[in-house]
Structure 1
Amino acid sequence: MIKKHKFNCPVVVKKLPDYKNVNTKLLEYFDTCDHEEIKNLTVTENYYPDSFNKLDFYNSSDFDRPWVQFFLPYLKKELKEIANFLWYDDFIVNCIWFQEYLRGNHHGWHIHGDNFTGVYYVKFDLKKSPPTEVVDPYNNKIAKKMNVECGDLLLFPSFFIHRAPVVFDDTKKIIISFNLNISKPSLELYDSKRISYGFFDNIKSKMGSKYNRL
């Protein structure tokens, strides 16, 4: 028999400061940068149907792209604050890409790799485009519509099943998606809020060399 134990799991939303100016510049980059198109994939071609106007997913590990060079400093500053808020010391962004949706475009149910998945909303109107939907991982039955708007940064564990529903309006929706790994817990925060350094020291002394290989 398999038993499930329910834990609270964080989903974070944070507004990017000066997002209007940042987004204006990003839109200029996206108008001219290299990209791919994926239109109307069938289930036989992939494990879920997808349709985008354009995206640069296949270059997601290239951090020399001009728009990435521009946006990454803003993103890392916010991610550092979020990581500390969640009691972690640091993070590593492993890949990043943009996706543009027009009428009829969508991204089916899927998950990501790494620890956390991030979505940043560059061009988005909640009144005209459906928001990201995330499934509660405890029972995989309840899909929650994220209350987000343009300029918001959404972060959730990457094993959460989620999707971008079909765009039905004549509007353009552009998001940046990224995967990141949290590197380690903040010992200082645990020392002051929950447990002492001695907790980790005791684990290290008991495990010996095995601790250093974790």
Structure 2
Amino acid sequence: MNGTFSLLLLITFSTPVVPAEKNEYKGSEKHLATIRGYRIKIENEIEEICRDVLDLLDQSLIPNASTGESMALYYKMKGDYSRYLTEFVPGEKHNPAVISAYNAYKIAAYVAQTEFKAAHPLRLGLAVNFSVFYYRILNSRDRARCLAKRAFDDAKAKLDVLTEEPDDDSILLMQLLCINLTLWASSGSGEREGISCGKTRHTIGARIQSI
């Protein structure tokens, strides 16, 4: 599963490069046709990977989930892989992918809030990705900001009363929430932002973050 996810990330982040290449080959229909063919090939590979993972989740992993943690994880994964599809699949496939992602995230959120404390990495990771889904796919920006801010504030309040060192994954995910909140507040200017996240500080180029 990790290998599949890494491959998906590699393919996904290569996709935005393709349209940019058009400027280099302006006026050359042959090169543009090659680029279009390459993009279609990439998108087909992404779709095949996503659907394979979604089939595995629906047919095996989710029906056999025996704990709240596994249920939350698998529904989060279903939301994530459905969201990946919404980024590029055409109209007749887009809406079902959006609905699938939304429903899966809602179930995962309910289970995570029931099973885990606010600073648990799985609950925070879900908040990161669900808020990105609201922002980028549903264009519900106020809802995205509200979800991300509540998750960050709740986790920070929990960490503030801890006597031991917090989980590194929790801190990283809180940073991602903070990065997105700062980016969304600045309307995505593309400038570098200094992000202060309580006990940590992180500077990163402005780009919406998900996991």
The TM-score, its normalising length taken from structure 1, stands at 0.25
The TM-score, its normalising length taken from structure 2, stands at 0.25
Which structure's residues are more often strand, by fraction?
A: 1
Which structure's residues are more often helix, by fraction?
A: 2
